Amino acid sequence: MATQRPMSPRGDYSPPPVDGDFYRITNVLDAKERVIVKRVRDFMESEVAPIIEDYGAGTNSRFEIVPKIAKLDIAGSGTRATVPRRSWLLNGFICMELARVDASIGTFYGVHTASPPVRSTVRR
């Protein structure tokens, strides 16, 4: 856990870097999965966060971001179609990182990521 550094008499204090994983929940993922989550977080902070405010007025379309997201190679995480298969837990972390910067991108990803088959309990 990072500790705060005391403010010097000159007032040149700078806080430690922000880490939103206060409870270290990413530790439930294996090392390879944590690399994927970090790649998504870095992308969202460097590519999306600086420009997302421009989309708030509805004048621009977020669709120009989609090809960049495709390059992250995260589509279909957790589905049977991906090789190697990724866990649903990882898929949740990916969605969380996307939504952390922009909820609409997290929703877009969630809608377009296949979900496990739902079996009906209704008898016909």
* Residue 46 domain boundaries: 30-112
pTM of the complete model: 0.71
- Report d(CA 108, CA 124) in Å as an integer: 34
Residue 69 lies in a domain: yes
Residue 119 lies in a domain: no
- Report d(CA 39, CA 64) in Å as an integer: 19
- Report d(CA 41, CA 34) in Å as an integer: 10
Tell me the average confidence (pLDDT) per consecutive run of 10 residues in the chain, 124 residues long. 57 72 86 94 92 72 83 73 71 91 88 62 58
The CATH number for 76's domain is 1.10.540.10
Residue 12 lies in a domain: no
Residue 124 lies in a domain: no
Q: Is 91 helix (H, G, I), strand (E, B) or coil?
A: helix
- Report d(CA 31, CA 51) in Å as an integer: 30
Task: Return the amino acid letter for 24.
Answer: R
The pLDDT score that the predictor gives to residue 47 is 92
The pLDDT score that the predictor gives to residue 66 is 85
**Count of domains observed in the chain:** 1
The pLDDT score that the predictor gives to residue 121 is 60
